[in-house]
Amino acid sequence: MVLSRKPLKGMRELTPGEKRIEDYIIKRLREAGVVYGFEEYETPVLEPLELFLAKSGSELAVEQSYNFTDKGGRKLIMRPELTPSLARMVAASGELIYPVKWMSFPVCYRYERPQRGRAREFMQFNLDILGVSGLEAELEVFLVLRRIMNSLNASPGRYVIRYSSRRLASEILESCGMTEEEMAQAFAVIDKKDKLEPDEWEELVRNRIKIERSADTVINFASCSDPNAPWLVEAAGGSEACDEIVRFSGMLRDAGISEAQFEASVVRGLDYYTGIVFEVMDTGGKNRRAICGGGRYDNLVGMFGGQKVTGVGFGLGLLTLELFLETYGLIPDSISGKHPADIFLAIYSDEERTFAVNLAENLRNVGVSVEIDITGKNLSKQFRVADRKSIGYIAIIGPEEVASGKITLKNMLSGTETECEVSEVLRMLRDRSLSGEAN
């Protein structure tokens, strides 16, 4: 039997070059969280199925997840997202210092059709603030998002942080007499607005929502792109939810977050959102899937008993962010091809191997990353290996080097050679890096 060379459909598989790109993105994400005081945490990949049935809804927990019964008869799920696990963890943690500001890089699983920007196994960046009821929490989350995009050299006009209010949408839909089931249907239809042409979407609304007045309300609400739009003011002006979204828009303006834009059609698909919801989108239309999505969830932690704890947060897909960066050439060309080794030690013969091994260890002890030949191939083949791996520097260890204690560093890009004492190797590599000489 010949085994397949392909991984299971939709599963993560990254070459070292691809992993270096992911690590570059993770580094920027982590740095953005740390400067705002966020701490990193982790939760189990496997959770009780009932946790996600109660918190995320049956569509995600059953139809779009990997769930099974284990050998102990327990119904389990491979986490399709992180927020319910976070809520459980916070509820079980007892005394915490609020606000809790946590971030994580979970690998999640969803059983759905793989396509551009969507896989069955995927890594996210989750960032949450718990224990703050005011809009200051949402504002800080938006500031983190802006910092992330700026750190990745995404110009403000290239992306938008679209926001709305799940609470406001619920109040407006309730005002025209919709039941909870009808409102869930309406949210699902509103969520498709940006995925269809305007005429197609309006036809979908009228096909799914049979009462004309309710359909008109959905269409009018989802078409609002200004929190002070006349229709919206007439429909909900003076309500707490409407006042909140107007106030938040002012806070964003005062903070200079010009990348933020009100769009009433942003409702997000998860049932636990209770207030402001948001997503980051590519303004060029080349990546139509949201890079990031999140919002306020004030009732999750309280469902585990004990005190009620408010929350605001988001999940950002690393795959969708990477596709966005690739689209606009924002991933530095050197990232995927940059080998972790600073220098390659080529060995002339077995007689010099002991010296070379000890030299490599001494260099590693002072912070130099070294790859040494372990194949016994001739020098020309060793050079070829170093060149194909794009290792910046190479040094031959032969009889002369053993006798003198000096080595000659060759820059594989420029071809220049420099003789130096072993003790000087680290300093020379650092000097060349600082001066911009390619590694």
- The verdict on 389 and 244 lying in the same domain is no
Q: What is the pLDDT of residue 253?
A: 96
Vertex 95: Cα angle to 89 and 100 (nearest 5): 60
Q: Is the pLDDT of residue 432 over 60?
A: no
Which DSSP state fits 257?
-
Q: What is the pLDDT of residue 429?
A: 72
Q: What is the pLDDT of residue 276?
A: 95
pLDDT digits (tens, 9 = 90+) for 63-108: 889 999 999 999 999 999 998 899 889 988 878 999 999 999 999 9
Is 5 a domain residue?
no
- The verdict on 300 and 364 lying in the same domain is no
Which DSSP state fits 227?
T
- The verdict on 226 and 266 lying in the same domain is yes
Q: What is the pLDDT of residue 269?
A: 65
DSSP code per residue over 161-219 = EEEEEHHHHHHHHHHTT--HHHHHHHHHHHTTGGGS-HHHHHHHHHHH--SHHHHHHHH
Q: What proportion of the chain, given as a percentage, has pLDDT over 90? A: 58
Is 55 a domain residue?
yes
Q: What is the pLDDT of residue 438?
A: 46
- The verdict on 293 and 404 lying in the same domain is no
Is 2 a domain residue?
no
pLDDT digits (tens, 9 = 90+) for 205-259: 999 888 888 889 989 989 999 999 999 988 887 889 999 999 999 999 999 999 9
Judged by phi (left if over 0) then psi (alpha if -120 to 50, else beta), residue 253 lies in alpha
pLDDT digits (tens, 9 = 90+) for 292-325: 999 999 988 887 877 789 999 999 999 999 999 9
Choose the weakest-confidence range: 159-173, 297-311, 419-433.
419-433
**Average pLDDT across the chain, whole number:** 90
Q: What proportion of the chain, given as a percentage, has pLDDT over 70? A: 96
CA–CA distance, 236 with 228 (Å, rounded to integer)? 10
- The enclosing domain of 30 has a CATH number of 3.30.930.10
Which DSSP state fits 115?
B
- The verdict on 231 and 359 lying in the same domain is no
- The verdict on 320 and 402 lying in the same domain is no
Q: How many domains does the chain have?
A: 2
- The verdict on 258 and 212 lying in the same domain is yes
Domain end: 327, 349, 381, which one?
327
Closest CA to 266 of 254, 252, 250, 280: 280
Q: Is the peptide bond before 99 cis (omega within 30 degrees of 0)?
A: yes
CA–CA distance, 324 with 21 (Å, rounded to integer)? 13
Range of the domain at 238: 16-327
Phi, psi values for residue 233, rounded to 5°: -65, -40
**Looking only at Cα atoms, what is the longest distance across the chain?**
92
- The enclosing domain of 417 has a CATH number of 3.40.50.800
3-class secondary-structure state, position 72? coil
- The verdict on 143 and 50 lying in the same domain is yes
Is 35 a domain residue?
yes
Is 27 a domain residue?
yes
Cβ atoms 77, 108 nearer than 8 A: no
DSSP code per residue over 258-280 = TTEEE-TT---S-TT--SEEEEE
Domain end: 270, 298, 327, which one?
327
Is 332 a domain residue?
no
Cβ atoms 99, 130 nearer than 8 A: yes
- The verdict on 83 and 151 lying in the same domain is yes
Is 7 a domain residue?
no
Amino acid identity, residue 420?
A: C
Q: Is the pLDDT of residue 56 over 70?
A: no
- The verdict on 98 and 124 lying in the same domain is yes
Is 103 a domain residue?
yes
Q: Is the pLDDT of residue 149 over 80?
A: yes
CA atoms within 13 A on the CB side of 173: 27
pLDDT digits (tens, 9 = 90+) for 326-358: 999 999 987 877 888 999 999 999 999 999 999
CA–CA distance, 61 with 179 (Å, rounded to integer)? 23
- The verdict on 84 and 28 lying in the same domain is yes
- The verdict on 386 and 307 lying in the same domain is no
CA–CA distance, 142 with 132 (Å, rounded to integer)? 15
Closest CA to 266 of 164, 187, 192, 189: 164
Domain end: 327, 352, 379, which one?
327
Long-range Cβ pairs for the range 237-240 (8 Å, 24+): 239/168, 239/171
